[in-house]
């Protein structure tokens, strides 16, 4: 089966992750989608290859590095390609619902985990620059910054 003809998007991902102290009152008004995520490759150096189905969109993503700034390459794949690769992620999967909450010029992505991770709620914020990242003042409903805490990384949640 040939790969989808879309060229990979490359980016320098800069993001912070927070525990959510309290969900925003108007949470249900914001766009949301179910996400199934599994890992094909996980290396100690921070390299990971991830499969994701978010609504009807499927993707294959390579991430490299650790911390708030990492390299990322992503290609869109077909649902059929996702289904062929999905069994290879057995034992390294998670499910969550993601809400996109606007906050000034940014979007706060709130992830409410399911299954064995039920009860965990985190928020991720992506930034244009490291300066913007470090100067970010989170809203009161966000809790502790866990960007550097492996316990709350998707890879840990998918494998433990």
Active site residues: 39
Closest CA to 98 of 84, 109, 108: 109
Closest CA to 159 of 87, 92, 94: 92
Closest CA to 20 of 110, 97, 81: 110
How far CA 149 is from CA of 1, 37, 51, 66, 119, in Å, comes to 39, 20, 22, 11, 17
């Amino acid at each position: 089966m040939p790969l989808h003809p879309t060229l990979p998007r490359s980016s320098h991902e800069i993001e912070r992750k927070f525990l959510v102290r309290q969900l925003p009152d108007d949470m249900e008004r914001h766009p949301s989608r179910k996400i199934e995520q599994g890992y094909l490759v996980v290396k100690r150096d921070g390299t990971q290859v991830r499969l994701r189905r978010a609504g009807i969109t499927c993707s294959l993503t390579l991430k490299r590095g650790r911390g708030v700034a990492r390299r990322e390459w992503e290609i869109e794949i077909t649902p059929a390609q996702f289904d062929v690769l999905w069994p290879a992620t057995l034992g390294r999967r998670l499910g969550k619902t993601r809400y996109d909450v606007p906050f000034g010029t940014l979007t706060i992505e709130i992830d409410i985990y399911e299954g064995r991770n039920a009860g965990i709620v985190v928020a991720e914020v992506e930034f244009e620059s490291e300066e913007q990242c470090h100067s970010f003042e989170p809203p009161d409903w966000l809790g502790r910054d866990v960007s550097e805490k492996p316990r709350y990384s998707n890879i840990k949640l998918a494998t433990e």
